[in-house]
Amino acid sequence: MILGGSGFIGRHAVAAALARGLDVTIGSRHPRRIDHKLPAIARDRPRIAVHMERMNSEEHWRDIVRKHDAVINCVGILRQRGRETYEAVHHRAVAALARACRERRLVHVSALGLEAPARSRFLTSKRRGEVALMDSPADWYLVRPSLLDGHGGFGAEWLQRVAQWPVHPLPNAARGRIAAFDVSELGECLCALATAPRTDAAADERIVELGGPHSLSLLEYLRALRRSPSPAPLLPIPDWLARLTSHVCDVLHLTPFSFGHWELLQRDNLPSRNRAAEWLGREPASVGRNSAL
């Protein structure tokens, strides 16, 4: 079962699972409305309605989980809406799902950079979800990818557009480096983890950090995505203005830029041990036209 199977990460996990010949169930908030988001080969797959914000006890998950050998959780929210809060989706639902997956494989997608101090509830709720997963009786893997590149992602496509602008606005504090990772390769890794033989590996082996082959600053990444051979000039953004903009974007949902992203930009978003090649069976692909900058 792939939760969030119509989302940016989830639909690539679905495609990778079907390419492996796996029997896939797609979990989505609106299972009848997602045909246009799925690869054609997935449109006849069984679907179930999953509302993570309401599923905060083990009983909510037990009947769903028992029908599946493994669960891949790709669900995450960038911004809160009504009952769909960070705490409900990123923490309480994950904790309940992990308890229900007793002795079953659960592959949970999180993010890099959550262990550092943070004020963003987006980040702190994800970290609490990680802790709940690691304390659970599930046969778990925790996947932490770096920045993701690919088609169909709100943030990924926004950065691809910004890369084509005549100037590249960049907060002065955005000093962290990234290892941009292709989302389709993340889907492959998730399926490899979901189908790997059961292991008694220690917790540090169950935490799988993934990234592309290059360490880039955000400016270098934008230049790698840029289709024109001529680099755009840098437009430095004062820290106070970048932070204010992040809060405005959170309130008005103007762009993918958020206060959580503002915090992440200030530190490296790199795998401490990049295990992409281990789970892909090959070296990860470069992202962008000039990714080797």
In 3D space, the residue among 20, 30, 24, 79 whose CA is nearest the CA of residue 6 turns out to be 30
| Residues 141-189: tens digit of each pLDDT | 999 999 999 988 999 999 999 999 999 999 999 999 999 999 999 999 9
pTM of the model: 0.94
> Does the pLDDT value for residue 60 go beyond 70?
yes
Q: How far apart are CA 103 and CA 137, in angstroms?
A: 6
CA 174 to chain centre: 20
Within 8 A by CB and 6+ apart from 33, the residues are: none
Task: Compute φ and ψ for 222, nearest 5 degrees.
Answer: -60, -40
Architecture of domain 2-280: 3-Layer(aba) Sandwich (3.40)
| Cα 103-108-109 angle, rounded to 5 deg | 170
Structure tokens at 78: 């960038």
- Which residue ranges make up each domain of the chain? 2-280
Identify the residue whose tokens are 């755009």.
Answer: 232
Write down the pLDDT at residue 105: 97
* pLDDT band per the 50, 70, 90 thresholds, residue 258: very high
Write down the pLDDT at residue 254: 84
DSSP count for the chain of H helices, then E strands: 12, 13
